[in-house]
Amino acid sequence: MSQLASLKVLIADDHFLIRQFVRNTLKESKIENVETAGDGNEAIDLVQKAKSTDQPFDIVFLDWNMPTVSGLDVLTFFRAKPEYSDTAFVMLTAESEQQNLMKAIKAGATSYIVKPVSPAELSKKLYEINEWIKRKRQSSNGFFS
């Protein structure tokens, strides 16, 4: 079984095309536990609900431009809450300006994907993100616990 298969993922993007594209790529990496949100508010609700039922998302893909609440605002909202520190937030955007990249990093994005992205590139990112999650959880649990 793929080491990624146990990951729980949320894709928040107002474009169904991107939601489906990311979902297909995740499926190729054997990640089946995937939910989707069409705007920022829905993303916040789903992430909070999953946490409250003790089944948190491991990775949240956030489109930069979404209705109601932008991806950057969703990221900022959760990064202000320590209980989400080991959740990977990955920004999805067609913009590649350095200032946006810096904004995302400053706000605490785990990674940043510029569309269009190939399935191969996305899969590679998934492995990097999974390594980040493992490191985060290892450091928060302590090495010997």
Partner 1 sequence: MSVMQKQISLDETLAKDIVNAVVSSMSHTFNVDVKPGNTEYGEGMVSLGGDISGIIGLVQDQLDGTLILCMPFETLREILPHVLGKTVEITHEMATDAVGELTNMIFGQVKRELNLRSHQIKLGVPCVVSGKGHFVCQFYRGRNMIVPFHLDGKMFQVYVGLNDSVAEGPRR
21 versus 89: smaller Cβ distance to partner 1: 21
Task: Please identify which residue in 2, 3, 5, 16 interacts with partner 1, judged by CB under 8 A.
Answer: 16
Told to check if 102 binds partner 1 by CB under 8 A, we report: no
Task: Please identify which residue in 103, 117, 123, 136 interacts with partner 1, judged by CB under 8 A.
Answer: 117
CB 109 within 8 A of CB 79: no
**What sign for the dihedral angle of Cα 89, 83, 24, 28?**
positive
Q: How far is the CB of 11 from partner 1 (least distance, A)?
A: 13
Alpha-carbon gap, residue 38 to 91, rounded angstroms: 15
Task: Please identify which residue in 3, 96, 138, 141 interacts with partner 1, judged by CB under 8 A.
Answer: 96
* Chain centroid offset of residue 70 CA: 14
Q: How far is the CB of 71 from partner 1 (least distance, A)?
A: 14
CB 83 within 8 A of CB 50: no
Q: 3-class SS at 61? A: strand
Tell me the window of 49-57, 66-74, 89-97, 134-142 that interacts with partner 1 (CB under 8 A).
Answer: 89-97
- Total binding residues for partner 1 by CB under 8 A? 18
* Helix or strand run (H / E) with residue 44: helix 40-52
Q: Which amino acid is at 56?
A: P
Which residues 28-87 are close enough to bind partner 1 by CB under 8 A? none
The binding site for partner 1 (CB under 8 A) comprises 15-18, 20-21, 24, 94-97, 114-119, 121
